[in-house]
Amino acid sequence: MSAGRVILGMILCLAAAILIVFFVTLGYDLSSIPELTGMAVYQTIFFLLMEPYFSVSVGLWSVLAALAVGAFIGGLASKGAKHGALVGLISWIIIFILYLAVAFVFDFAALATWWGMLGINIVFDIAIGLGVLVVVGAIGGAITGGGEK
């Protein structure tokens, strides 16, 4: 049963984070969804989720809040601190894979060029994104854990 809760927590974590970035950070509403045809919106969503330090440095604090809220909801669903941390870790891995798939179509040379061109310190981005997801997920899981063994 705990594997099912981790998967449910991961789905809730990703859905909450993506929806918060889509509606709050990017400012879209429900009426604009049928008009979205290009990949630019999806690239922007995963770029922001993958690089929270960069987002905060340009004033987009809602990206960090989206990661924290998503991880907290996922941790609550997982019902355990260890499972909540696992939800955060798996969610970060999936965000990274989707970031590579949508933005660079798994072209690692283009990814390295992109990071070098922007001068983004990706170590901070990875540490902050992974840290927020794992720690807040564990906190959410600890709240509903009830004496995890």
pLDDT of residue 113: 74
What is the distance between the alpha carbons of residues 22 and 17, in angstroms, rounded to a whole number? 9
Handedness of CA 57, 62, 66, 68 (dihedral sign): positive
C-alpha distances (whole Å) from 36 to each of 18, 29, 30, 32 are: 15, 11, 11, 7
Report whether 92 contacts 15 (CB < 8 A): no
Name the residue among 74, 55, 84, 82 with its Cα closest to residue 16: 74
Residue 20's identity, in one-letter code, is I
pLDDT of residue 120: 61
What is the distance between the alpha carbons of residues 80 and 118, in angstroms, rounded to a whole number? 39
pLDDT of residue 148: 54
Report whether 121 contacts 53 (CB < 8 A): yes
pLDDT of residue 33: 78
pLDDT of residue 117: 64
Q: Is 119 left (phi over 0), alpha (psi -120 to 50) or beta?
A: left
Residue 76's identity, in one-letter code, is L
Tokens of 27: 């400012």
Q: What is the pLDDT along the chain (149 residues), one digit of tens a residue?
A: 578 889 999 999 999 999 999 999 988 888 887 777 777 788 888 888 988 888 888 888 999 999 999 999 999 999 889 999 999 999 999 998 888 888 777 667 777 776 676 666 777 888 899 999 999 999 999 998 776 55
Rg (CA), the chain: 16
Model pTM? 0.86
Tokens of 46: 């995963």
What is the distance between the alpha carbons of residues 46 and 96, in angstroms, rounded to a whole number? 8
